């Protein structure tokens, strides 16, 4: 269990306090637009493609992918500087790493209290669009809206966006090609909604595999970890840091056999558990946690906010990752190390004190 001071439970609880404070002031609005859950989200056919092709100039030896996750923007929180600090973190990480593309793996905004979800999404899409880099997005469990069809459109039509999940309830893929149209790498983006990868996503993977048989080095991206993130830690396969239980929600391990059907799949990248940063290979698939990014999320007292930089080598299908903080501290765990105690952390000077 977590021994960090700000836990997931506290984080959810503090969100509820904020919600309650706003409730009296805006009761009428709240009645009009009730928050809805993501499961069974509407589709949109405004953008009919379910894939995006990203052309990279020249023929680079490696592709640099920066992942940010668990952004947790909430302009209505008491401390107004938190979101600005998170935006600064993202910008600094981009400056430091100069990636070819950006992955945003969910929990970008803060529920849909008083029907504000769409406004949060619009602001976030504008921010990511302003960064001058192609970006893709996967849905997080906190990313809630009253109108998901509109949400798909905002995401797909935003500047520099590669999101193409509108017609498949948030599932799509991105292909990275060089100038001569050679496919270098592929990202399969899944909507893990509130419960993890359930039957509907597994069925989508099956249908997708029937149509996409090319063997290309591939990563899968989603927000909620699959069950085997738990197994790799418990069986000492994983290396890294772990300060909370793996929150695989309702998924119970059934998804891995489906993921293994994806041709060329090397690794899964996810977010959700802010104070876990580790990876390990199970049945040929590398399960990798992103580094939580947003100051509005719990966990900076044990795992400093940052991002994860992946170097992808298309000619061999190999890849490397390193977690990066805005101070340019870079970290990859020594193979075989499992850290669960604050005093064993290598980044003592970067921990946020309460």
Residue numbers at the binding site for Fe ion (CB under 5 A): 107, 140-141, 272
Spatial contact of 170 and 143, defined as CB atoms under 8 Å apart: no
Nearer to Fe ion, 12 or 25 (CB): 12
Nearer to Fe ion, 134 or 196 (CB): 196
DSSP 8-class letter at 154: H
Spatial contact of 223 and 197, defined as CB atoms under 8 Å apart: no
Q: Least CB distance from residue 283 to Fe ion, whole Å? A: 25
Residues in the chain: 354
Nearer to Fe ion, 4 or 218 (CB): 4
Q: Least CB distance from residue 88 to Fe ion, whole Å? A: 22
Neighbours of 46 (CB within 10 A): 13
What would the two tokens of residue 328 be? Answer: 């340019």
DSSP string over 271-306: -S-TTEEEEEEETTEEEEEPPB--TTSS-TTTS---
Q: Least CB distance from residue 223 to Fe ion, whole Å? A: 6
Q: Tell me the H-state helices in the chain.
A: 8-25, 27-32, 81-97, 117-129, 148-157, 199-211, 228-234, 256-259
Nearer to Fe ion, 15 or 217 (CB): 15
Q: Least CB distance from residue 224 to Fe ion, whole Å? A: 7
Nearer to Fe ion, 201 or 218 (CB): 201
**Residue 173: phi, psi to the nearest 5?**
-140, 160
Q: What is the SS3 assignment for 269?
A: strand
Nearer to Fe ion, 176 or 226 (CB): 226
- The rounded distance, in Å, linking the Cα atoms of 93 and 22 is 33
Nearer to Fe ion, 63 or 145 (CB): 145
Question: For strand 307-313 and strand 318-324, is the pairing parallel, antiparallel, or unpaired?
Answer: antiparallel
Start-to-end CA distance of the chain, whole Å, equals: 20
- For Fe ion, the nearest residue by Cβ is 272
Spatial contact of 147 and 118, defined as CB atoms under 8 Å apart: yes
Nearer to Fe ion, 175 or 221 (CB): 221
Question: For strand 318-324 and strand 285-289, is the pairing parallel, antiparallel, or unpaired?
Answer: unpaired
Spatial contact of 172 and 66, defined as CB atoms under 8 Å apart: no
Q: Least CB distance from residue 197 to Fe ion, whole Å? A: 14
Q: Least CB distance from residue 210 to Fe ion, whole Å? A: 30
Nearer to Fe ion, 186 or 272 (CB): 272
Q: Least CB distance from residue 351 to Fe ion, whole Å? A: 22
Q: Least CB distance from residue 298 to Fe ion, whole Å? A: 11
Q: What is the SS3 assignment for 318?
A: strand
- The rounded distance, in Å, linking the Cα atoms of 175 and 156 is 16
Q: What is the SS3 assignment for 183?
A: strand
Q: Least CB distance from residue 227 to Fe ion, whole Å? A: 16
């Amino acid at each position: 269990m977590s021994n960090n001071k700000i836990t997931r439970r506290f984080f959810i609880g503090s969100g509820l306090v904020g919600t309650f404070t706003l409730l009296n002031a805006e009761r009428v609005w709240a009645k009009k637009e009730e928050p809805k859950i993501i499961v069974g989200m509407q589709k949109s056919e405004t953008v009919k493609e379910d894939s995006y092709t990203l052309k990279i100039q020249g023929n680079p030896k490696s592709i640099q992918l920066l992942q940010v996750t668990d952004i947790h923007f909430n302009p209505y929180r008491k401390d107004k500087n938190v979101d600005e600090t998170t935006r600064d973190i993202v910008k600094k990480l981009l400056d430091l790493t100069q990636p070819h593309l950006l992955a945003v793996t969910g929990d970008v905004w803060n529920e849909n209290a008083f029907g504000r979800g769409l406004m949060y999404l619009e602001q976030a899409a504008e921010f990511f669009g302003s960064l001058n880099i192609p970006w893709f997005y996967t849905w997080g469990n906190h990313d809630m809206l009253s109108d998901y069809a509109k949400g798909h459109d905002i995401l797909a039509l935003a500047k520099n966006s590669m999101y193409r999940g509108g017609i498949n309830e948030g599932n799509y893929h991105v292909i990275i090609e060089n100038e001569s149209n050679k496919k270098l790498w592929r990202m399969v983006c899944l909507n893990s909604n509130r419960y993890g990868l359930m039957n509907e996503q597994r069925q989508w993977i099956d249908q997708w595999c029937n149509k996409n048989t090319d063997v290309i080095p591939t990563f899968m991206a989603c927000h909620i970890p699959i069950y085997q993130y738990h197994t790799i830690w418990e069986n000492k396969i994983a290396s890294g840091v772990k300060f909370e239980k793996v929150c695989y929600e309702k998924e119970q391990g059934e998804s891995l056999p489906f993921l293994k059907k994806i041709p060329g799949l090397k690794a899964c990248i996810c977010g959700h558990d802010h104070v876990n940063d580790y990876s390990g290979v199970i049945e040929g698939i590398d399960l990798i946690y992103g580094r939580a990014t947003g100051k509005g999320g719990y966990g900076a007292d044990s795992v400093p906010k940052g991002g994860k930089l992946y170097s992808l080598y298309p000619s061999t299908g190999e890849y490397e990752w390193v977690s990066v903080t805005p101070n340019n501290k870079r970290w990859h765990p020594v193979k075989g190390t499992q850290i669960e105690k604050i005093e064993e952390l290598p980044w003592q000077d970067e921990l946020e004190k309460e």
